[in-house]
Amino acid sequence: MGTVEAITLAVIQGLTEFLPVSSSGHLALGHWLFGMGGAEGELPIEFVVLVHFGTLVAVVLYYRADLMEIVRDVFRPGRQAGAGERCGWGRRLLLLLLLATLPAALAVVLEDPVERLLNTPWAVGLALLVTGTALLVSERVGKRTKAPEQTTAGDALIVGCAQLAAVTPGISRSGSTIAAGLALGFQRAWSARFAFLMSVPAILAGTLFKLKDMLEQGAGGAVGLYLLCGAIAAATGYLAIWLVIGAVQSRNLRWFAFYCYAVGLAVVVVDLGGLA
């Protein structure tokens, strides 16, 4: 993989990990366009680990206050709440995130079918159409009144099931979880915040899984380039979080939906029409 391809895919990973347009779908399409096939496994393992780690750094930095509150409540359960803090909220937030992550355990069962979809551009295109529809529908349902403290265990599991659906390339993790939160009546800011906090264990697990593969295979060359790609993924990921939060609060998710429709339709026509 050359420098241009590596940097391009790093930018795609950083932006689409959090923009509601599907990072796995865009990476699969990027591989297809570069003639590299669809499977992430065909990329250098060092590149995969570092760009995933970059996106993890982005979300941890953006939501460091929430994550620090979880750490404080877990390791100092008897502490007094400081100014502006809610006593015990960190523990409750951790429980909600754990419940929301449970359905993702089924992703292991779906690994082989997903690998086949990564090599099927028209299927990725159809999944992007589903993502676009979910974003449009979510803007029209739900009362947007449910505050963080009112979120139930059932709500967390439902949003977690939406995250499981995103194992399909083209189904956006942030898009599906934000849409599920809005449909459940979450306040706009809370729907995005919960969706992005949910991504921390998911991205961390994926990074550790790939890191295990890297340690087994041994590191190769071009590590300097891949470190740069990780930094690019972190910077673009941070920007993407900021953009999505603004879009959710200003009711502009439809623009991401229109983008998914445009790309999805184009991919289906090109692939099934034999124009590639």
pLDDT (tens digit per residue) in 95-124: 999 999 998 877 766 666 666 666 688 888
For the stretch 264-273, pLDDT in tens is 999 999 888 7
* pLDDT at 166 > cutoff 50: yes
In the beta sheet, which residues pair with residue 186?
146
Please give the residue that has the higher pLDDT: either 25 or 260.
260
Average pLDDT over residues 46-63: 91
Please state, in angstroms and as integers, the Cα–Cα distance from residue 88 to each residue in 38, 103, 144, following that order: 45, 25, 24
CA angle 62, 24, 34 (to 5 degrees): 120
CA angle 143, 176, 23 (to 5 degrees): 145
- Sorted by where each begins, the domain ranges of the chain are 3-272
Mean pLDDT across the chain: 84
The tokens describing 108, both together, are 């292991």
- Helices assigned H by DSSP within the chain: 3-16, 23-33, 45-62, 64-75, 89-101, 111-118, 121-138, 153-165, 173-183, 188-217, 223-249, 253-272
CA angle 276, 23, 180 (to 5 degrees): 120
Burial degree of 49 (CB within 10 A; 0-12, 13-18, 19+): buried
For the chain, the 3-state helix, strand and coil shares in percent, each to the nearest 5, are 75, 0, 25
